[in-house]
Amino acid sequence: MSYHVLVQFDIPPAKRDDFAKAALFDANGSLENEPGTLRFEVIRDENNPNRFYLDEVYESAEAFQQHCQNETIKQFYEMVDSYAQGPNFIFKGYLEK
């Protein structure tokens, strides 16, 4: 059963491109270096261009916890902490089949 996480960040307009680059850095690093990461997408809200969602899927909750300890996410937060509002967790949970 896969573990899903949806996270929201609100970003000042002048930092949207910077945030998108940092989030894609985190997403690509996670997909390349964390075997338990199944999907990691960066989504900009269609109605609020200053809101981003990170849509993440992991093999398990343990894989997500491992992601939270890895260097890629630490670097991501170093890049965005001075201006990003979040993360606000929209949900965390298991896929039902």
CATH number assigned to the domain comprising residue 82: 3.30.70.100
Confidence tier at 19 by pLDDT (50, 70, 90): very high
The domain tally of the chain equals 1
pLDDT in tens, 21-44: 999 999 999 999 999 999 999 999
Query: pLDDT at residue 54 above 90?
Result: yes
Please state, in angstroms and as integers, the Cα–Cα distance from residue 83 to each residue in 2, 14, 48, 74, 78, following that order. 31, 10, 17, 15, 10
Domain that holds residue 66: 3-94
Cα 23 to Cα 39: distance, rounded to the nearest angstrom: 13
Tokens of 25: 């850095």
User: Phi, psi at residue 53, to the nearest 5°?
Assistant: -120, 140
